[in-house]
Amino acid sequence: MAIVNYLARLGHYFGHDNFLTIAALAKQFNTASLAKSPAKFNEQQLLFWQTQAVMHLDNQGFWSWVGDAIQHLVPANKQAAFVDLIKPNVQFPREVKSWAQALFSELPLLTSEQEAVLNNAGNDYFQSAVIALEKYGADANKITTHIKESVNVKGKALFLPLRIALTAHEHGPDFAALLAMMDVKTIKRRLERGM
């Protein structure tokens, strides 16, 4: 459906960027809206439609799209919340797999750049994070506030080491929601790795 929505707009102007079914595309097609200039491939536009296609999947369609191997990585009682959290942040099943592994399995090896971020954060940073976790549980706001006050960091220096240490991703869904999906023992183990 991403490809269909993309191709339908090559050389034709619909007047909007709404994601449409094949029937709706056909109904809104108008020869008067055909462009005279030749169509050109635009990868960013195709990826835009891929994002739209994923967003329009319901939960059952999403799980069918990603396949059994990825489904089995996510605990059954967390599947609905996982889909709601991850769906706006992925375009392809491999990205879903990466997030499922980050939250419920073992992290992949970090890149040298990611390792450098953790090293720069330092031992005190991660000790403070572990203390906060033990005191407050998986409460992202309380953990980050504790780290901020304990080691005097803010902004990227506050949030990036945590995100990398816990998920091996620099960007992604809301950090508090990610933390709430994870097992506290896993969080602690990953934080201690940075010490």
Q: Which CATH architecture has domain 1-56?
A: Orthogonal Bundle (1.10)
Fold agreement between 1-56 and 112-193: no
User: What pLDDT shows up at residue 108?
Assistant: 84
User: What pLDDT shows up at residue 193?
Assistant: 87
The answer to whether the predicted template modeling score (pTM) of the entire model surpasses 0.75 is yes
In which band, very low, low, confident or very high, does the pLDDT at 14 lie, cut at 50, 70 and 90?
very high
Contact 117, 160 (CB under 8 A): yes
Phi then psi for residue 156, to 5 deg, are -60, -40
Q: What average pLDDT does this structure show over 3-14?
A: 93
Domain ranges of the chain: 1-56, 112-193
Q: What gap in Å lies between CA 195 and CA 192, rounded to an integer? A: 5
Answer whether residue 36 shows pLDDT above 90.
Answer: no
CATH code matching the domain that covers 112-193, chosen among 3.10.350, 1.10.10, 1.10.260, 2.60.40: 1.10.10
